[in-house]
Chains A and B, each alone.
Chain A
Amino acid sequence: MNVRGIRAIYTFEMARTGRTLLQSIVSPVISTSLYFVVFGAAIGSRITEVAGVSYGSFIVPGLIMLMLLTQSVANASFGIFFPRFTGTIFEILSAPVSVWEIVIGYVGAAATKSVGLGLIILGTAALFVDLQIAHPLWMLVFLVLTAVSFSLFGFLIGIWADNFEKLQVVPLLVLTPLTFLGGTFYSIDMLPPFWRMVSLFNPVLYLVSGFRWSFYGLADVSVTLSLAMVLLFLALCLTAVGWIFRTGYRLKS
Chain B
Amino acid sequence: MPAGRPPAISVSGLNKTFASGFRALHEIDLEVRPGEIFALLGPNGAGKTTLISIICGIVTATSGRVEVAGYDNVADFREARSRVGLVPQELTTEAFETVWATVRFSRGLFGKPPDPDHLERVLRDLALWEKRDHQIMTLSGGMKRRLLIAKALSHEPDVLFLDEPTAGVDVDLRQDMWEVVRGLRASGVTVILTTHYIEEAELMADRVGVINRGGLTLVEEKSALMRRLGAKQLILTLAEPIEELPEGLADKRLELAAEGWELVYTYGKEGEGKDIAVLLTELTEAGIRFTDLYTEQSSLEDIFVHLVRERQ
Contact = CB atoms under 8 A, between A and B. Distances in A.
B94 interface: yes
Contacts of A9: 109
A94 B57 contact: yes
A19 B137 CA distance: 15
Given A2-B111, A4-B113, A91-B151, A96 B78 contact: yes
Nearest to A15: B101
Given A90-B58, A96-B110, A2 B86 contact: no
B88, B96, B109 — most chain A CB neighbours (10 Å): B109
B60 A252 contact: yes
Contacts of A96: 77-82, 110-111
Contacts of A7: 108
A4 B106 CA distance: 10
Contacts of B57: 93-94
A8 B108 contact: yes
Given A87-B90, A90-B88, A96-B77, A5 B109 contact: yes
Given A90-B88, A94-B57, A5 B110 contact: yes
Interface residues of A, number: 26
B81 A94 contact: yes
Given A94-B86, A96-B82, A5 B92 contact: no
A87 B92 contact: yes
Nearest to A93: B58
Given A2-B78, A252-B60, A19 B96 contact: yes
Interface in A86-118: 86-88, 90-98
B18 to A, nearest CB: 6
B18, B78, B94, B108 — most chain A CB neighbours (10 Å): B108
A191 B231 CA distance: 87
A117 to B, nearest CB: 21
B63 interface: no
Contacts, number: 79
B97 interface: yes
B1 interface: no
A252 B97 CA distance: 25
Contact of A8 (B56, B59, B95, B105): B105
Contacts of B92: 86-88, 90
A15 B56 contact: no
Contacts of B60: 248, 252-253
Contacts of B90: 87
Contacts of B25: none
A12 interface: yes
A253 B53 CA distance: 10
Given A248-B60, A252-B59, A5 B93 contact: no
Contact of A92 (B80, B82, B109): B109
B109 A8 contact: yes
Interface in A1-49: 2, 4-5, 7-9, 11-12, 15-16, 19
Contact of A88 (B94, B101, B110, B112): B94
A4 B110 CA distance: 8
Interface string A210-253: 00000000000000000000000000000000000000100011
A5 B81 contact: no
B109 A97 contact: yes
Interface of B: 18-19, 56-60, 77-82, 84, 86, 88, 90, 92-97, 101, 104-113, 151
15 contacts: A8-B106, A8-B109, A12-B97, A19-B96, A88-B94, A90-B88, A90-B92, A91-B106, A94-B81, A95-B109, A96-B79, A96-B82, A97-B109, A97-B111, A252-B59
